[in-house]
Amino acid sequence: MKAYSPEEAVDLAKQAASAQFDETVELHLRMGLDPRNASQQVRGVALLPHGLGKSVRVLVFAQGEAARNAENAGADYVGADELAKKIEEGWVEFDTAIATPDMMSKVGRLGRVLGRRGLMPNPKSGTVVPTEDLPRVIEDARKGRVEFKLDRTAIIHLPLGKVSFDKEKLVENLSAIIDAVMKAKPSGAKGQYVRSAFITTTMGPGIRLDLRSTLALASA
């Protein structure tokens, strides 16, 4: 299969998109890691300079001063026990969840609902934060904060933006993701860290990225 530079691959993905809606452009990285090895886990956050092309609904588990901070920072939903109960009953009408450390005893029991949707607040992904950091984290979430982690098949899946984005914006978002993934390289990684990379759209074909030019985007 032919491999393309990031610019060429983004062009091809945009041309191949034929759905009647604004498809999401996705990045899939096959990693040279063992998902069963605790020292080879990858988890992190990338801040996309051009966002994801959609409004992000932010929920914050907080109370007291922290709740007031979250409300003032523009969080869509803020609360404690009442929010937890609503989620236990199946409500998940939000895109990202943030919590203050004191709320984790309440949030922990929501793992069955939030965990499988990738919405569980976690210190490693920067979504369990002290009161004073809430405004920054809420703002980051709105701007295009995306979390990534290694799945059980040693692949990282990430959105880059929308087909309607200019090529330059998609490439800049790609650069931010590659930079974040490279910086998150675990100490237990051995051999080739990233083995292959593909771009696709929601309904489009996979387009292989030239690995050398793609990884060169890190800190470019």
Between residues 118 and 22, the one the model is more confident about: 22
Residue 179's Cβ-side half-sphere holds a number of Cα atoms within 13 Å equal to 14
pLDDT at 25: 96
In the chain, what are the domain boundaries?
A: 6-42+150-215, 58-143
Fold entry, domain 58-143: Rossmann fold (3.40.50)
User: Virtual CA dihedral for 190, 196, 197, 200, nearest 10 degrees?
Assistant: -140
Tell me which amino acid residue 89 is.
E
Q: Which architecture, in CATH terms, is 6-42+150-215?
A: 2-Layer Sandwich (3.30)
Q: pLDDT tens for residues 155-181?
A: 999 999 999 999 999 999 999 999 999
Task: Give the C-alpha separation, 102 to 48, whole Å.
Answer: 29
pTM confidence score? 0.77
**Tens digits of residue pLDDT in 83-123:** 999 999 989 999 899 999 999 988 988 988 898 788 899 88
What is the SS3 string spanning 109-141?
Answer: HHHHHHHHHCCCCCHHHCCECCHHHHHHHHHHH
Judged against a pLDDT cut of 60, whether residue 220 lies above it is answered with: no
